[in-house]
């Protein structure tokens, strides 16, 4: 468990999620391998992974297996449709499946494992991604002591997208010891001091049951917008463009219903916000896991990482931040109600407090805001706010330290990629409308 043999100049740290300084050590000691890794790839509890210069469009998704390498499998038996050069900007078509090698590879110690997630911008654009290692049989997981290349599977489900080598669609956390979350007893102790979540009158007291229970906000504030529904378009979204696209061309705002309900239509993708304002202290990390029924009405494709300091800052100076939720209805209309239980936030111990936390000082984009689209869309058309009693914060305000503000197409540093976590709920295929009551929530 101790790290003294790997990092002789560093005091051994304990079990838990590795902080930024230990990720930096993994790079310095050749355990994370790649040319040109920059400091802004290193987040408080993860590292951003970069696309390499080729993408392989394939006919179907598949597990890597142990019989051959991933790319050999992708190129054999008629699986490969085309090879795409993404060293310059290139189009990835909607609903097409791509396998893309990443620039980074690993040579991990035997006591270190990894867990991957898409980045926030990736999720808010309905881009489905998952990390693949070889040989292995589990997506998004890197086994202890893994040595080898990394790949990402990419499917953009709503919009065609333009990508280029060096872009960052996903991120990787490392851990030492057991991957176990903080128990309810400790969460209740912390929550009792309003340490984990900022409580407001509407949401009541924090509910802790196998993690912190998260509910959806269909009340909104003075703007009246409670959600955005994506409009499928043939026009592509260039992921390199910031504050560039007109919201109305790609998104339909949904306003508050007097019943505080929202009918999710089949085949559509939605952006919503949590009712709670989440806080993650600097010595903890978190992950938002989905609401899960035995009947599988909810299926999750990925969960959202929350960095140390999210909605909290270094010493509790931030009064909480709402989580952005992404929801897709498959073949069953779903009626959501205000304060509907949709997921659990699990907290994890850090092996040590990171030397930097989520916030504007490292280019984090959404430390104090609510419902918001990805950074490719013009912020002045969006409903972006914190608590009713707090100052309204726009994306431009939150990016003030990292944007050059030279126009609508100004380029931000890649540090701005570290955005507010999101998670997806994908409803299973049923033939009748299903209604879930916010007050009759799953126990």
135 vs 117: CA distance, rounded Å: 19
> Are the C-beta atoms of 73 and 136 separated by less than 8 Å?
no
425 vs 307: CA distance, rounded Å: 21
384 vs 242: CA distance, rounded Å: 16
Choose the CATH number for 16-176 among 3.40.640.10, 2.70.40.10, 2.60.40.1080, 1.20.120.430: 2.70.40.10
Query: Which pLDDT value is given to residue 442?
Result: 36
Intrachain domains 16-176 and 184-435 with the same fold? yes
Q: Where are the domains of the chain?
A: 16-176, 184-435
> Are the C-beta atoms of 37 and 104 separated by less than 8 Å?
yes
pLDDT in tens, the chain (443 residues): 334 344 444 544 689 999 999 999 999 999 999 999 999 999 999 999 999 999 999 998 876 666 667 777 777 778 899 999 999 999 999 999 999 999 999 999 999 999 999 998 899 999 999 999 987 668 889 999 999 999 999 999 999 999 999 999 999 999 998 877 888 888 888 876 666 776 554 545 678 888 888 889 998 877 789 999 999 878 999 999 999 999 999 999 999 989 999 998 988 899 999 888 888 999 999 998 876 544 344 443 345 789 999 888 888 888 888 888 888 877 788 889 999 888 889 999 999 999 999 765 554 444 455 788 998 999 866 655 443 333 333 333 333 333 333 333 333 333 344 444 555 555 443 333 333 333 333 33
Phi, psi for residue 72 in degrees, rounded to 5: -60, -40
Query: Which pLDDT value is given to residue 387?
Result: 39
User: Computed over its alpha carbons, how large is the radius of gyration of the chain?
Assistant: 21
18 vs 341: CA distance, rounded Å: 30
Enter the tokens of residue 12: 């051994």
Phi, psi for residue 8 in degrees, rounded to 5: -60, -25
> Are the C-beta atoms of 108 and 33 separated by less than 8 Å?
no
Reported pTM:
0.81
272 vs 51: CA distance, rounded Å: 29
Beta bridge partners of residue 212, listed in sequence order: 208, 345
User: In whole angstroms, how far apart are CA 9 and each of 110, 145, 282, 341?
Assistant: 20, 22, 23, 46
Question: Is 422 exposed, middle or buried (CB count within 10 Å of its CB: 0-12, 13-18, 19+)?
Answer: buried
Query: Does the domain made of 184-435 have the CATH classification 3.40.50.2300?
Result: no
443 vs 218: CA distance, rounded Å: 21
> Are the C-beta atoms of 165 and 87 separated by less than 8 Å?
yes
């Amino acid at each position: 468990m101790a790290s003294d043999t790997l990092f002789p100049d560093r005091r051994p740290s304990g079990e838990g999620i590795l902080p930024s300084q230990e990720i930096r050590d993994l790079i310095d000691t050749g355990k994370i391998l790649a040319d040109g890794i920059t400091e802004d790839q290193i987040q408080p509890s993860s590292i951003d992974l970069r696309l390499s210069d080729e993408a392989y469009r394939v006919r179907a998704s598949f597990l890597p297996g142990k019989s051959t390498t991933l790319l050999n499998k992708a190129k054999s038996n008629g699986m490969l449709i085309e090879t795409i050069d993404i060293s310059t900007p290139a189009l990835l078509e909607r609903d097409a499946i791509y396998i893309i090698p990443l620039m980074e590879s690993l040579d991990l110690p035997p006591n270190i494992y990894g867990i991957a997630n898409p980045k926030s911008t990736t999720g808010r654009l309905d881009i489905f991604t998952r990390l693949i290692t070889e040989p292995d049989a589990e997506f998004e997981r890197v086994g202890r002591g893994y040595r080898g290349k990394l790949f990402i599977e990419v499917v953009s489900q709503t919009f065609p997208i333009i990508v280029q080598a060096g872009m960052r669609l996903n991120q990787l956390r490392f851990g030492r010891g057991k991957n176990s979350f903080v128990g309810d007893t400790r969460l209740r102790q912390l929550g009792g001091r309003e340490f984990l979540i900022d409580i407001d009158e509407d949401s009541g007291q924090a509910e802790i049951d196998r993690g912190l229970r998260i509910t959806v906000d269909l009340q909104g504030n003075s703007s009246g917008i409670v959600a955005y529904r994506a409009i499928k378009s043939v026009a592509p979204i260039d992921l390199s463009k910031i504050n560039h696209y007109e919201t109305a061309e790609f998104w339909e705002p949904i306003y508050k219903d007097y019943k505080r309900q929202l009918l999710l239509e089949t085949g559509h993708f939605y952006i919503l916000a949590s009712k709670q304002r989440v806080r993650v202290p600097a010595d903890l990390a978190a992950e938002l896991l989905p609401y899960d029924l035995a009947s599988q009405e909810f299926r999750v494709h990925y969960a959202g990482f929350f960095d140390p300091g999210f909605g909290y800052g270094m010493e509790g100076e931030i009064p909480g931040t709402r989580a952005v939720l992404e929801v897709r209805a498959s073949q069953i209309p779903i009626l959501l109600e205000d304060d509907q239980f949709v997921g659990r936030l699990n907290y994890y111990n850090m092996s040590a407090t990171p030397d930097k936390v989520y916030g504007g000082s490292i280019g984090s984009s959404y430390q104090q805001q609510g419902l918001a689209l990805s950074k490719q869309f013009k912020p002045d058309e969006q409903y972006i706010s914190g608590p009713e009693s707090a100052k309204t914060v726009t994306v431009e305000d939150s990016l003030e330290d990292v944007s050059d503000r030279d126009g609508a197409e100004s380029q931000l540093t890649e540090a701005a990629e570290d955005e507010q976590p999101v998670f997806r709920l994908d409803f299973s295929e049923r033939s009748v409308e299903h209604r879930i009551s916010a007050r009759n929530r799953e126990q």
